[in-house]
Amino acid sequence: MGTKSIRHVTEQLVAAQLAAEEGLAGVNVYTGDSAEIQTLPRVVVLAESARPPGDLPEGLGNYAVGVRITLLSNADDTTLADHRARCAALAGSMYDVALLQSAFTASTDALLYDVTPTGEDDGLDDRSWATVFTYELLACLNPVA
């Protein structure tokens, strides 16, 4: 598959979609390998895994990419209601599979077939609201782009 990584491609494209989401205005969006100093509020997109999907042939560039998206808001200046509104915007953006598919296609690095939500967990950690979303993205890396 050349020098491309389906995990990096996925992180970059999902992060770009979330950064453009109107409901997340003012929220910093980072990828899992970002070396930037990360400030609140923030979203971190991490492609934790990539494996051949169980129902598709191996070796053809098909991947089930496990993506963890963490949204953190400062509890000192953000109400839980505001944090949850951001969560709704994030989840809504990830449910817009057609928009995400068009970003993958436009990149020419990969194609996206489907997005499956696999979990959402809330927590409060060191004066910040934290919500973790997990998804499985079914994608195909384009080896010739």
CATH number at residue 135: 3.30.70.1700
**1 falls within a domain:** no
Q: How many distinct structural domains can be found in the chain?
A: 1
Per-residue pLDDT at 19 exceeds 60: yes
Are the C-beta atoms of 71 and 61 separated by less than 8 Å? Answer: no
Q: Please state, in angstroms and rounded to a whole number, the distance separating the CA atoms of residues 101 and 36.
A: 27
In this predicted model, what pLDDT tens digit does every residue of 58-76 receive, in sequence order? 667 899 999 999 999 998 8
Residue 8 buriedness (CB in 10 A; 0-12 / 13-18 / 19+): middle
- This prediction's pTM: 0.91
Residue 1 is predicted with a pLDDT of 39
Domain that includes residue 113, residue range:
6-141
